[in-house]
Amino acid sequence: MVETIIREVELSDAQQIANIYNYYIEKTVITFEEQLVSANDIQARIEKIKKADHIWLVAEFDSQIVGYAYSAPWRDRSAYRYASEVSVYLSSDSQGKGIGSLLYQSLFEQLKLTQIKILIGGITLPNEASVAIHEKFGMEKVAHFREVGYKFDQWLDVGYWQVKLS
């Protein structure tokens, strides 16, 4: 039986990650990006995350990347250095299988070993699945911004969830 492996991202994963993310760009309002990304774009993002001493993980199943999660600096100013924005994305055929939870569990455990104290997740609303996974990990809604994004001819709200790592 093949099991899901959670591991640190490699630059060679970039094309598969781009394929996963491009689905969300092209077909959903989950991300506000509107232009498809290339493997080179993803490689640059991976390098930026690593350079900032943050974490990027992938879920691999049967030699294929089926999801990823990462932490990124919340903001650039130095006083924000203890806060991190977290994100998780799954391939469209891997949703609802617990892979997102495996990724977040591993990411959160690794972040506990760093100087990061606060995790923040931004969610385009409505999005019951994303709200559910964030709340599963103890995150609470702390903000709601109305009509801050416009994609696919509709105005979109964004909520923010956060948790303090213990």
Q: Which pLDDT score, from 0 to 100, does residue 46 have?
A: 98
Q: What percent of the chain has pLDDT over 70?
A: 99
pLDDT band with cut points at 50, 70 and 90 for residue 52:
very high
Per-residue CA distances from 142 to 60, 119, 122, 135 (Å) = 32, 12, 10, 12
pLDDT exceeds 70 at position 1: no
Query: Domains along the chain?
Result: 5-164 (3.40.630.30)
* Residue from 76, 27, 28 nearest 52 by CA: 76
Distance between CA atoms of 27 and 143, rounded to whole angstroms? 26
pLDDT band with cut points at 50, 70 and 90 for residue 2:
low
Give the H or E element holding residue 134: helix 128-136
The mean pLDDT value of the chain amounts to: 96
Q: For 25-48, what is each residue's pLDDT tens digit?
A: 999 999 999 999 999 999 999 999
